[in-house]
């Protein structure tokens, strides 16, 4: 007997439910959820499998979504820009004076949001306690010299993106990015989405399961691209402070749920992820997060091309990952963010679609996951595009 799928599927979206079921049968999903909004209304909201052995993955299960969190952080920055509180073309030092050390006084906020600042890893010898405390990492980033001349290239700031943008937000608002997100986004929309999870919600979190070991060929490639000392390794491990090779185990720990890591430790579900993006491109139950002009600014391409850290093509708007040749989503105009292991949230304004997928079984990679590819293809088929 196959995995039982629960939830709702509106007429015409049967292929999406079929693709979701196929993820369990053919692509290794253990526990997962998927939600699709069209024009602000949910048309698919489904879940299935196990959160942990013997425990069903249900409508209330929460999941850590790694870099899918970056989309939520980008939404906060865009809301502040929309209100005139943040000028993305202003130097970061206008909000965070200490940031100007070591020749960084002219870096605009825009470059933090689009991975151009050359600060993808801290300079000092920090340990895990420093990472969880946040303040030591922020101080190190403010004091360090960039790893390349800012604005000359882009490279994925896998973890530091959240602390850099988060500190600008904190200096503007007086509260942390997670607190701003809770007050201005999650609260009004009724989202189950936290950057810094309250302890009483821990029982709802499905533990992450490590990705299967790579083939020898893939392992050899990863050693070249992400081996110790490479930019990708420095970015993912916070210069060795976080054991990202054992990410599932590390990020299952309470300390990594409790801290604020606005690039990597958001905890949510598919329904909330889809609802978040639906409210970025239209009204959801009376709430719209980004007005049309701000939405266009947020998804306007800032950089595109070879990524200095990831060694593949990447393209970014103001914090959002855009459509690329190796990551098509629903085509040009799509904006959102994937997370390590497979989670994905995005919107495609031209079709009114907002998409959210979360899972506990990690796969090896950030893009081109067969599970999300299958769901995207099914969405396209259901809508006749």
pLDDT at 320 over 70: yes
Q: Dihedral, CA atoms, 347, 85, 178, 348, nearest 10 degrees? A: 0
Burial class for 152, CB neighbours closer than 10 Å (0-12, 13-18, 19+): exposed
Within 10 angstroms of residue 328's Cβ, the number of other Cβ atoms is 16
Q: What is the C-alpha to C-alpha distance for residues 33 and 315, in angstroms, rounded to an integer?
A: 27
366 confidence band (pLDDT: 50, 70, 90): low
Q: Are 140 and 48 in contact (CB under 8 A)?
A: no
The residue among 189, 184, 236, 194 whose CA lies nearest residue 77 is: 184
For residue 17, the surrounding DSSP H or E stretch is helix 14-26
Over residues 248-295, the pLDDT tens digits come to 999 999 999 999 999 999 999 999 999 999 999 999 999 999 999 999
CA distance 267 to 195: 7
Q: Which residue has the higher pLDDT, 385 or 40?
A: 40
How high does pLDDT run on average in the chain? 96
Name, in order, each residue with C-beta under 8 angstroms of 200's C-beta and a sequence gap of 6 or more.
none
CA distance 29 to 20: 9
Rounded to the nearest 10 degrees, the angle between the axes of helix 270-281 and helix 292-299 is 110
Q: Which residue has the tokens 């010299």?
A: 145
Instruction: Give the tens place of pLDDT for each residue, 321-351.
Output: 999 988 889 999 999 999 999 999 999 999 9
**Integer distance in angstroms from the first to the last C-alpha of the chain?**
33
Spatial separation of the C-alpha atoms in residues 275 and 36, rounded to whole Å: 8
Contacts of 335 (CB under 8 A, 6+ apart): 298, 299, 317, 320, 321, 322, 346, 347
Q: Is the domain defined by 5-73+180-382 classed in CATH 3.10.20.30?
A: no
> Which letter does DSSP use for residue 182 in this model?
I
Structure tokens at 260: 């604020």
DSSP of 130-152, one letter per residue? HHHH-HHHHHHHHHSPPSS-TTS
Query: Is 67 annotated in the active site?
Result: yes
The catalytic residue among 67, 274, 334, 382 is 67
Distance CA 259, CA 267 (A): 11
Specify the DSSP class assigned to residue 41.
Answer: E
Using CB atoms within 10 Å of the CB of residue 54, give its burial: 0 to 12 exposed, 13 to 18 middle, 19+ buried: exposed
Residue 188 has what pLDDT? 98
What tens digit of pLDDT does each residue of 297-315 get?
999 999 999 999 998 999 9
Query: Domain limits of the chain?
Result: 5-73+180-382
Residue 24: how many CB atoms within 10 A of its CB?
A: 20
User: Rounded to an integer, what distance in angstroms lies between the CA atom of residue 341 and that of residue 302?
Assistant: 26
**H-helix or E-strand spanning residue 375:** helix 370-382
- The helix/strand count (H/E) of the chain reads as 15, 13
pLDDT digits (tens, 9 = 90+) for 140-189: 999 999 999 999 999 999 999 999 999 999 999 999 999 999 999 999 99
Joined together, the tokens standing for residue 193 give: 């989405």
Identify the pLDDT of residue 1: 59
């Amino acid at each position: 007997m196959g995995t039982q799928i629960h939830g709702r599927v509106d007429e015409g979206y049967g292929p999406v439910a079929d693709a979701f079921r196929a993820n369990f049968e053919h692509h290794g999903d253990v526990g997962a959820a998927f939600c699709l909004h069209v024009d602000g209304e949910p048309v698919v909201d489904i879940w299935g499998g196990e959160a942990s052995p013997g425990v069903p993955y249900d409508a209330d299960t929460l999941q850590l979504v790694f870099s899918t969190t970056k989309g939520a952080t980008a939404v906060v920055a865009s809301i502040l820009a929309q209100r005139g509180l943040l000028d993305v073309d202003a130097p970061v030092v206008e909000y965070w004076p200490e940031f100007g050390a070591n020749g960084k006084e002219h870096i605009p906020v825009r470059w933090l949001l689009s991975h151009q600042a050359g600060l993808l890893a801290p300079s000092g010898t920090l340990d895990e306690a420093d990472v969880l405390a946040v303040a030591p990492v922020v101080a190190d980033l403010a004091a360090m010299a960039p790893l390349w001349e800012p604005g000359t290239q882009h490279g994925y700031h896998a973890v530091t993106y959240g602390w850099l943008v988060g500190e600008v937000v904190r200096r503007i608002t007086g509260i942390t990015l997670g607190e701003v997100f809770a007050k201005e986004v999650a609260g009004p929309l009724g989202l189950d989405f936290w950057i810094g999870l309250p302890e009483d919600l821990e029982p709802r979190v499905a533990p992450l399961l490590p990705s299967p070991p790579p083939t020898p060929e893939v392992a050899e490639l990863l050693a070249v691209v992400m081996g110790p000392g490479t930019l990708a390794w420095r970015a993912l491990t916070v210069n060795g402070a976080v054991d990202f090779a054992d990410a599932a185990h590390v990020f299952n720990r309470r300390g990594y749920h409790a801290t604020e890591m606005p690039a990597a430790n958001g905890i949510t579900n598919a329904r909330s992820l889809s609802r978040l993006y639906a409210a970025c491109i239209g009204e959801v139950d009376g709430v719209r997060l980004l007005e049309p002009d701000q939405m266009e600014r947020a998804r306007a391409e800032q950089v595109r091309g070879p990524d200095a850290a990831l060694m593949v093509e990447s393209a970014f708007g103001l914090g959002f990952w855009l459509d690329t040749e190796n990551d098509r989503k629903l085509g040009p105009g799509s904006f959102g963010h994937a997370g390590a292991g497979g989670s994905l949230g995005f919107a495609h304004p031209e079709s009114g679609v907002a998409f959210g997928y979360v899972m506990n079984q990690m796969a090896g990679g950030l893009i081109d996951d067969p599970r999300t590819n299958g769901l995207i293809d099914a969405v396209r088929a259901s809508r006749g595009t």
